[in-house]
Amino acid sequence: MSDVGSAVLHGDSSRRVTVPLPRSLPELQYHANRHFSGGKGNARMYHHGHSKVQHAHHMGKIKDGDVIVIEGMRSMPEPPMYTTHRTDYVPHELEVRPPPPPAERPPPGARFDGVTSYNQAYVKHPPGYREPVRPPKSGLASGSHGVTGKSMYSTQYPWRNVEPQRPVLPSNGMPLGSTQFEGVTSYMNDYVGHPVRARSAAPVSKSRGPSLPFEAKTTYADDYQNTSSARTVTAVPHKATLRPEGAPFEGNTEYKREYVELAQERRPLVHLEPEIGRTSRGLSTPARRR
């Protein structure tokens, strides 16, 4: 590795980026450009801030946990970047188009006398004079003699004068009797009326003795008798028979037998830090870059 000279670069640990230990110089350069270059070219890398990393054999000295300090990118004038579109299609300045001359108005001429097919097919005629129409007379209005016309109803159904009938008087041939009607109907034959019997009085109940408590038993009381049960004794866990008391459980499940947990190897890492300042070899206080 080549030294940076008499100065030592100091990295900013607050902006540290940790990446897996690269296996090649292009991989390390890729991580440095991605995080700290800003698209301005390849960043310069220094191992622990004093040894520049620029060749492939320098990667052998970088170990797990080492710090790579990225030198600050100095702004250098660069040519403007152009896309292939701008390269192929160069914009040209548009010439100012002169305003069009004012349109000349045609001089006032004769009236347009063109004839269309509509005018030829539909000739316009002057409207003729129309005499005013009087409203028609009503057919039911009375004439000069006060006679109106007949309707269809009055023609089909003429009115006829009917003489009133004389009232019919009872004849004297059949004498009127005063005997009671003795006819019998089918209702009376089916529903014969019976005489209503007077309701007898209810018998007086005999006096009972003194009331006694109800002593009857139900089938529920016979089947489910309330017996005095003894108090349930609290269950005590059984003592272990396969292992001593207090020993941890060392059983093995089928899952643990099928899926054996393998120890994963920790991949070595390297830390990338941007430059925050630099000091000379003989000084201990870092000099901040402006």
**pLDDT given at position 148:** 67
Quick check: is 55 in a domain? yes
Strand pairing report for 67-70 and 269-280: parallel
Residue 283 has pLDDT above 60, yes or no: no
pLDDT digits (tens, 9 = 90+) for 106-158: 777 777 778 889 988 998 889 888 888 887 776 565 555 656 678 889 889 99
Q: Band of the pLDDT at 251, cuts 50, 70, 90? A: confident
Determine, yes or no, domain membership for 250.
no
Query: Of residues 31 and 211, which shows the higher confidence score?
Result: 31
Give the contacts of 265 (CB within 8 A, at least 6 positions apart). none
> Per-residue DSSP letters for 54-114?
-SGGGGGG--TT-EEEEPPPPP---PPP--HHHHHS---PPPPPPPPPPPPPPPP-PPP--
Q: Is 30 within the bounds of a domain?
A: yes
| Residue 44 belongs to a domain | yes
Lowest mean pLDDT among 2-6, 28-32, 165-169, 180-184: 2-6
Q: Could you tell me the pLDDT band of residue 38, with boundaries at 50, 70 and 90?
A: confident
Better pLDDT: 86 or 140? 86
Confidence class for position 215, pLDDT limits 50, 70, 90: confident
Can you give the pLDDT at residue 261? 85
Q: Is residue 27 part of a domain?
A: yes
Number of domains present in the structure of the chain: 1
Assess if residue 196 is contained within a domain: no
Under 8 Å between Cβ of 53 and 25: yes
Q: Is 230 exposed, middle or buried (0-12, 13-18, 19+ CB in 10 A)?
A: exposed
Q: Which residues touch 47 (CB under 8 Å, ≥6 apart)? A: 1, 53, 58, 61, 62, 66, 67, 68
Distance CA 242, CA 124 (A): 125
Has residue 66 been placed in a domain?
Answer: yes
**What does the alpha-carbon distance between residue 212 and residue 102 come to, in Å, rounded to a whole number?**
133
Q: Is residue 22 part of a domain?
A: yes
User: Is 60 exceeded by the pLDDT of residue 74?
Assistant: no
The residue ranking higher by pLDDT, 79 or 281, is: 79
Which domain does 23 fall in, by range? Answer: 13-74+269-274
pLDDT digits (tens, 9 = 90+) for 152-177: 898 899 988 888 888 877 777 666 66
> What is residue 276's three-state secondary structure?
strand
